[in-house]
Amino acid sequence: MKKIVFLTMAVLLIGMVAFTSCQRDANTLICGVTQFEPMNFLDANGNWTGFDTEFALLVGQKLGMKVEFQEITWSQKFVELQSGAINCIWNGMTANTVDGTTGRPRHEDVDFSYSYLLNQQCVVIRKDKASDFTTNFDLIGKKAAAEKGSAGETIAVGAIGSGGIMIDKTKQIDTFMEVLSGAVDFAVVDSILAHRLTGTGDFSNLMVADIPMGSKMEVYAIGFPKGSKLVEKVNKAIIELYSEGTLYEIAEKYGLKESLVIGRETIR
């Protein structure tokens, strides 16, 4: 009899824990991020900060949801999303591109929010190599680095051609170190990141080459699982924050005011 009572209580306890977990999860927005300055990065105290970080927190306030940030490996972003480990990818994600990992347009794997920032890919080189890289032809057959699964990887592969060598890195910032050391000739990364970091601090010997990488303007958007009901709610919050001027304020804070453009249409 005691065993039956114990088992019954155990089952009830497990049910209560599961119920509490579901309640917590339903009110928590878990954002998949990488360290990508100025979008999401760690401050001196080890706390997440950046434009996308503050943006997500403000949207969370609008929706009455707690916001958490979970660092992910970019090449595994869709796996993390589809497994339920994260609720969204909120990390300066180029929406209108072919994914470097899947080889498919990203909108086939996720539903996107409204776009909110303009971006382009660019070439990062060492300053002492500036005269060697002036046109797209100078990239052919070279050794390049890019973040695995990124828009930059897709463009870099095309730029170097069949005779080039491609080095995949876990993080965009890791590609900078490859260029600095001379392990690769150049890196292809998001323009927003490159202009933020090159020519300063540890990367003072790096620069952005004056080589256009494709004519299509890229846009950032937030990626959600297919069919997610959060998309409509987040879009509404985005418009409210934009109309209130709050988005402009944080964009100005992180030097992104010229890139802030809200696109109210489905990304295809």
pLDDT at residue 7, as a whole number:
42
Q: Find out whether 150 and 144 touch, Cβ atoms under 8 Å.
A: no
CA distance 266 to 268: 6
pLDDT at residue 13, as a whole number:
42
Q: Find out whether 28 and 68 touch, Cβ atoms under 8 Å.
A: yes
Burial, 22: exposed, middle or buried (Cβ in 10 Å; 0-12, 13-18, 19+)?
Answer: exposed
Which residue positions in the chain have pLDDT lower than 70?
Answer: 1-25, 214-215
CA distance 51 to 74: 18
Q: How many residues does the chain have?
A: 268
pLDDT at residue 215, as a whole number:
58
For 30-67, write each residue's pLDDT tens digit: 999 999 999 999 999 999 999 999 999 999 999 999 99
> Where do the structural domains in the chain lie, given as residue ranges?
2-117+219-263, 121-208
CATH topology match: 2-117+219-263 vs 121-208: yes
DSSP 3-state of 237: helix
For 181-210, write each residue's pLDDT tens digit: 999 999 999 999 999 999 999 999 999 999
Handedness of CA 169, 70, 189, 98 (dihedral sign): positive
Task: Tell me the CATH class for 121-208.
Answer: alpha beta
Supply the Cα-derived Rg of the chain in whole angstroms. Answer: 21
Domain 2-117+219-263 is of which CATH architecture? 3-Layer(aba) Sandwich (3.40)
Lay out the sheet containing 115-119: strands in order across: 218-220, 115-119, 260-263
